[in-house]
Amino acid sequence: MRLTWFCMLLICMHQSLAQIILLESSAHLHLDEQTTLYAEGEVFLSGTLDNQGEIAFEQHVDFGSNKELGTINFTGNENQTVSGDSLNVQKWRMNNSGRVDVFSPSVSISGELDLESGVISTQFTRFIVSGIIKGGSHLSFVDGALTVNTRTGVETLFPMGYQGEYLPLTIADAGESILTISLNPAEDHDQIVPSDSLVGVTNDIIWTISQSKGAPIKSKVSLSYSNFDFMDLSGESEIKAESYSPVIVKRQSDSSYVSLGIGEGSDLDQLSSGNLFSLQEFFMDSDTVQFAVGVLPRVSGLKLFVPTAFTPGSSDEANNLFRPFINELDIRSLDLKVWDSNNAKVFDKFWIDSPLNETGWNGQSNGRDVSQGIYYYQFKLIAGNGQAFNQSGTVMLIR
C-alpha cells in the first residue's frame, strides 16, 4: 500500500487532488525539481517530505514534524492555516485571495518571500526572511511581526499591514542586522508627546523596530500610511503656518516625538493616505526605535506670526496666551514687554528654552486680570538657529 500511494502521487503530480490528503507516519513523499503538486484538499503530513519541486496548497496544511519544506505556494480562495514544528522554507509564494494564518513556533525563509496576493498573519509565530522579499501591496502584506536579515548597501522593505491596510516601511541601509518590525495602535494617547515644532501626532499606528543583532544603524526611512485621521491628533497645539504636511516622526529617549524632516510628501490638504520620506537620518544604537506620522507646519523660509488679538481665560486654550509664533524647531529665548494705553508697564518677562504652551502673556499684571482693551507690546525673539526677531505693535485683549 505504501508503494502504491507513493506511485499515485507521482502520477497525479500535475493534476488536482480535491480530497483530504493524509501522508501516514510510515510514508515518504518525494518531489523532484521539475514537479509541481497541486493539493486542493486539506493536507496532513505525518510522514516524511522531500520537496525539491513545488507544492501548491488550496486549503489548510499541517506539516507535522517536517521542517525542510522547499518551495510552497498558497493558492486558496478562502482563508488558510499553516501548522507544524519550526519550518524552514526555500521559497514562500502567496497567491491567496484571503489570508494565511501561521501556527508554528517559527518560520525561516532562506530564499524568497513572494507576495502577489493574500495576507500572512504572523500573530503566533516568529516569521524570519533571510533572502529577498518580492511584491507587497494593498493586496498582499504581513500582518503581525516580520524579522528580516538585512544586508549592507541594500534597501530593506518591510511589507507590513494592519487591519486590512497596507502600511510598509523601508530602511535605506541597515547594514548587517537582524531587525523585527511590528505595527500597533497607540494604547494610551496621552503617552504620545509631540515636540514643540509639531502640530501633533496621529494615534493610528506606531511602527516599532527591534534589533537583535548588528552594529548601530544610521539611515533614512520611508513609509506609507493609509486612511489616517488627521482631524484627531494627540498633543495637538496651535502653530500658525502657510500649510501643513504629514511627516515621519521618531520617538526620543524622553518619549517625545520629533520630526525627521519633510523629505518628500504632500501638503496635508485633508489627505488621509500617502507616502513619506525622511529628510534626516535616524540613529539606532539600542534595541528598539519607534516611528509614527505627525503634522508639521510647512512654510518657505523662516517666518514669524504675531496674533492681533487673544482671549485669556476662555475655553480656547490655543488663544489664552499672547505670544509670537515661529516656524522653527525651537525658540531659544523670548523677551516680552507689554504696556497699557496709559503707558504703564503691565508685563515684563524673559524666557529661555521654554515650552511653547508656557511662553506668553496671560492677560494679568501682578497676578490680577487686566481689563479688556488695546495693549502695546515689544519683544525680542531668538530662534533656534540664532536668528533674531525684534517687533513692536498692538494687540487686542478680549474678555
Our separate counts of H helices and E strands in the chain read 1, 42
What domains are defined for the chain? 2-188+201-223 (no CATH), 304-397 (2.60.40)
Per-residue pLDDT of 125-165, as tens digits, reads 999 999 999 999 999 999 999 999 999 999 999 999 999 99
Q: How far is CA 185 from the centre of its chain?
A: 10
Task: Report pLDDT digits (tens) over 264-303.
Answer: 555 666 678 889 998 888 999 877 999 999 998 876 666 7
DSSP assignment string, 338-383: EE-TTS-EEEEEEEES--GGG-SB-SEETTEEPPSEEEEEEEEEEE
β-pair type (106-121, 68-74): unpaired
Confidence of residue 337 (pLDDT cuts 50, 70, 90): very high
Burial of 213 (0-12, 13-18, 19+ CB in 10 A): exposed
Backbone angles phi, psi at 356, to 5 degrees: -60, -40
Decide if 296 contacts 381 (C-beta within 8 A): no
What pLDDT score does 3 carry?
31
174 pLDDT higher than 50: yes
Predicted pLDDT of residue 331: 78
